[in-house]
Structure 1
């Protein structure tokens, strides 16, 4: 269906809020978090090829959006993308058991510890509308509390993000689900607190009223 100008305006507010607008700097490791979006893997590989870090860590088993959709794990599909783009296999680390962001944190940490790779600065690569939630999760759960966290995503606009695999309506619903989690997860101890501007929360409530509710959790 065609979305109204007002719906798109409200969705843009949510999209912009989810971006943390970090400037990418040289780091010890680039970590691509699992998802259904291969453009995330492409962004991580681009950064490795540009020399931002010696390691490219690809994380993700099969999560709520890929279970039943893909036969191969997210990390393994991402690794294929990275190799095709020219990242040597010996510089790729694969964590392919995690099913959510919290497990991304724990299992990636175990992998790096096992390989004796010290990370003082991370570049985390995630979908555009999951930048802020990724930052909040790592700030809370990453065991290396002195590790600097930088978050980036595919450099793409809200208007251009939907594709045959994810519709504009689905993008809006997922964004609202992530915003809800940003609000409620700090109380559960999963993430750090992130202030939500009143206009962003108002946009959330208006879009919920329009029916974009299929990625919400029971509070």
Structure 2
């Protein structure tokens, strides 16, 4: 499916805004946030191999999207993938209960505290279009830790090709932006400034029906 040029341009604005632009650096631990995308496990494994973190946490249960593809749970499938890529099993902790980004952070923090792992910095690995959401959530729920965001280095076009559904990718971008707008007021994440051109692109995409990932009846602004 090929999207109109105007839609692609607006989606590109949302995509670029979601990327935090952090340079990877060595952290106390790498946390890979569960999802349908095994690329998160690939990036986390690569960060480990590069010496960016001595320990990896994979966090995630299952969802409607992953129930059939990852029947053992997202975190467990990530663990298996990372071991295939050369990460030793004793360098991986698994948190198998989290069902949203907030739980990913809270439950991973609790697991690390339970294991007695001192944490001053976290390499936070997510899907590209959820870098900013993950970062904003982590900053709210774990404010005394420094976070460095990471994801697969790919373009929007590459990501669309990997998913195979351009309309769905735009829906996901719109949904991710909506949450950045409404969640700070609900206490789920820190507030971040959204440039006007990104807001305008978001409104245009909503008006054109890219709304399947929106939270129904939610206010569109904080």
Question: If the length of structure 2 is used for normalisation, what is the TM-score?
Answer: 0.94
Give the match's secondary structure for 2:144.
coil
Change (3 A) 1:138 1:164: closer
Q: Do residues 128 (structure 1) and 128 (structure 2) align?
A: yes
Q: Displacement, 1:161?
A: 0.7
**Structure 1 residue aligned with 2:79:** 79
How many residues align? The count is 217
Q: Report 1:1-219 matches (<5 A).
A: 1-142=1-142, 145-163=143-161, 165-218=163-216, 219=218
For structure 1, list consecutive stretches of 5 or more residues without a partner in the other structure. none
CA root-mean-square deviation: 1.2
> What is the alpha-carbon distance in structure 2 between the residues aligned to residue 166 and residue 29 of structure 1?
32
Change (3 A) 1:133 1:53: same
> What is the alpha-carbon distance in structure 2 between the residues aligned to residue 216 and residue 64 of structure 1?
16
> What is the alpha-carbon distance in structure 1 between the residues aligned to residue 209 and residue 69 of structure 2?
24
Q: Displacement, 1:5?
A: 1.1
Q: Displacement, 1:195?
A: 0.7
* Alpha-carbon contact 2:163-2:169 (below 8 Å) kept: no
For structure 2, list consecutive stretches of 5 or more residues without a partner in the other structure. none
> What is the alpha-carbon distance in structure 1 between the residues aligned to residue 177 and residue 63 of structure 2?
18
Give the match's secondary structure for 1:161.
helix
Question: If the length of structure 1 is used for normalisation, what is the TM-score?
Answer: 0.96
Q: Which piece of structure 1 moves more, 158-167 or 32-41?
A: 158-167
Give the match's secondary structure for 1:175.
helix
Q: Displacement, 1:70?
A: 3.2
> What is the alpha-carbon distance in structure 2 between the residues aligned to residue 124 and residue 117 of structure 1?
16
